[in-house]
């Protein structure tokens, strides 16, 4: 599972464009029909963007960075990505079977609605301006085998727990985004995997092929996309029920995970935090905001995944009749991965034409000028909330590389939300052979101090959990009174709340008050 929390970058010196984002210009119809979705959300027509203008008619003030390349400036259609080089895509042996599956997906209902994606973009715009905090979480990759209601509930509960802690301690709205209901595909560094002298195609996620190391399992099967769609729709259906059916009620924070905290010092700290929340709820009830109020019993929740399997993403792209824009209705939020963010690549070409809020994964290999160009391609109107930059470069590289990226983006006048991903680049191998991350390497306050020193305000932490919590140990080097405690993933939520409710969260909220020695 992975938890993401985003940075909040105040950008008051930046002037956002008043014009809505128009990511694409259409002159031809795609060969496969695109469904026009009408009356699928309750968006206010008065807030809808005006008709799409041609590039020549768009004011030069809308974009603060002049394009330096013709990459990404041509006409866009839902199939224009096919004219670009596409990396990380499987080779299906049966093209007829693939076409049949894609036509079936074309006719399926959207998993999410365009209006929901627009609402998320508005929330992320608040985070970009320093008025909200983004929290994202879920598995590294979902699987068919572990699909059940308990796993969905437990992931959702951890997000609610951390969201409550961050909101209570930070006195700021928390945007909760699940890395779920679609996060199946996995990018691979090598197309082949070798064991005992036998080479087979790499496992690319359950929506592509199987993880068993045999020839039959590793053959890409397009029928898996149908199953992935069904599982995604069922997952989101349950998440909606949890979010609006009372499970997300704020008063339940005192009930969550008490069975795991009953006999531990961490449990005492957790109960102390829950008691403080109870006191706040009591005050609000006395003031007239009772626990029965909708704002106290429901929560907003969005889904996200990496935009990797382009045929699947294209088949779930719909033209929204309210705005006249195209949305990838497989998720509310999609991101370009480290291996597929080439300026002239197929994935960037596809993403630039959809109106969903987008993420960009960035490692220490990213050139600052290239990042500026990529943002310009994906967000030419410089619209707040459109772009989230997810840095994944490890603690040491973060101190050296991140300032250059932040400065380049700020010099270009681009408005983005910054997110730190401490799970990538900080991996070590525990004595038992499992991957783990030292707690000191995923600390949040050092990154926030770094970003403040160069004028970028607060900085969040991304993907605090990554391992499958039902199977593997998560070795967290948690220091308390000189003792190192090895914790299982089941207890990780308690660790996070124990830390966030005490010294760690105090340091997060006061990141600018520490010496360099403390930060290091």
List binding-site positions for Mn(2+).
140, 424
What DSSP character marks residue 476?
A: B
Is the CA virtual torsion 516, 517, 519, 520 positive or negative?
A: positive
Q: What is the CA radius of gyration of the chain?
A: 23
> Distance (Å, rounded) from C-alpha 418 to C-alpha 462?
10
State both tokens at 164: 């409550």
- The residues near 57 (Cβ < 8 Å, ≥ 6 apart) are none
Binding residues: 140, 179, 338-339, 361, 392, 424, 477
> Distance (Å, rounded) from C-alpha 277 to C-alpha 274?
5
Binding residues for ATP: 477
Binding residues for phosphoenolpyruvate: 179, 338-339, 361, 392
Look at residue 446 and give its three-state secondary structure: helix
DSSP E strand boundaries for 216-300: none
Cβ atoms 21, 69 nearer than 8 A: no
Distances (CA, A) of 448 to 62, 286, 347, 360, 463: 30, 36, 31, 19, 16
> Distance (Å, rounded) from C-alpha 402 to C-alpha 382?
21
Nearest CA to 423 out of 439, 400, 403 is that of 439
Cβ atoms 189, 244 nearer than 8 A: no
Kindly write down the DSSP assignment for every residue of 151-191, as one continuous string. HHHHHHHHHHHHHHHHHHHHTS-EEEEES-SS------S-S
What DSSP character marks residue 427?
A: -
> Distance (Å, rounded) from C-alpha 510 to C-alpha 520?
16
Ramachandran assignment for 331, one of left (phi > 0), alpha (psi -120 to 50 degrees), beta (any other): beta
């Amino acid at each position: 599972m992975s938890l993401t929390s985003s940075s909040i970058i105040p950008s008051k010196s930046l002037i956002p464009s008043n014009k809505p984002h128009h990511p694409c210009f259409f002159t031809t119809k795609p060969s496969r029909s695109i469904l026009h979705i009408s009356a699928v959300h309750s968006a206010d027509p008065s807030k809808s963007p005006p008709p799409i203008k041609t590039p020549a008619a768009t004011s030069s003030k809308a974009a603060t960075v002049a394009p330096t390349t013709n990459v990404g400036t041509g006409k866009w259609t839902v199939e224009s990505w096919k004219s670009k080089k596409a990396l990380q895509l499987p080779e299906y042996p049966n093209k007829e079977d693939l076409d049949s599956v894609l036509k079936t997906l074309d006719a399926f209902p959207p998993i999410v609605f365009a209006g929901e994606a627009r609402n998320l973009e508005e929330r992320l715009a608040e985070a970009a301006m320093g008025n909200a905090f983004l929290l994202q979480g879920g598995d590294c990759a979902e699987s068919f085998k572990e699909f059940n209601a308990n796993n969905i509930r437990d992931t959702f509960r951890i997000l609610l727990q951390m969201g409550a802690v961050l909101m209570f301690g930070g006195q700021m709205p928390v945007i909760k985004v699940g890395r779920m209901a679609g996060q199946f595909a996995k990018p691979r560094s090598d197309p082949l995997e070798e064991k005992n002298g036998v080479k087979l195609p790499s496992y690319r996620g359950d929506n592509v092929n199987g993880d068993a190391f045999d020839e039959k399992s590793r053959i890409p099967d397009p029928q898996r996309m149908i199953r992935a769609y069904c599982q995604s729709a069922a997952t989101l259906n349950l998440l909606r029920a949890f979010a609006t059916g009372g499970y997300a009620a704020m008063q339940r924070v005192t009930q969550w995970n008490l069975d795991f905290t009953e006999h531990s010092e961490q449990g005492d700290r957790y109960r102390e935090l829950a008691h403080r929340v109870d006191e706040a709820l009591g005050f609000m009830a006395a003031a007239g905001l009772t626990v029965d109020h909708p704002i106290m019993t429901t929560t907003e929740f969005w889904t996200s995944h990496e935009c990797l399997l382009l045929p699947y993403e294209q088949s779930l792209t719909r033209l929204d009749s309210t705005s006249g824009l195209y949305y990838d209705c497989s998720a509310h939020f999609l991101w370009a991965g480290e291996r597929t963010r080439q300026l002239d690549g197929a994935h960037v070409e596809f993403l630039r034409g959809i109106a969903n809020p987008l993420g960009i994964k960035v490692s220490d290999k990213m050139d600052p000028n290239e990042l500026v160009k990529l943002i310009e391609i994906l967000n030419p109107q410089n619209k707040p909330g459109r772009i989230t930059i997810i840095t994944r470069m490890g603690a040491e590289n973060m101190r050296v590389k991140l300032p250059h990226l932040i400065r380049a983006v700020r010099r270009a006048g681009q408005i983005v939300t910054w997110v730190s991903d401490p799970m990538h680049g900080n991996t070590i191998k525990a004595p038992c052979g499992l991957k783990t991350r030292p707690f000191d390497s995923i600390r949040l306050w050092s990154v926030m101090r770094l970003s403040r020193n160069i004028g970028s305000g607060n900085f969040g932490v991304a993907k605090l959990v990554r391992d499958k919590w039902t199977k593997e140990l998560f070795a967290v080097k948690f220091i308390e009174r000189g003792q190192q405690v090895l914790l299982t993933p089941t207890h990780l939520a308690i660790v996070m709340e124990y830390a966030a409710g005490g010294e760690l969260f105090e340091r997060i909220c006061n990141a600018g008050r520490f010496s360099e020695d403390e930060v290091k």
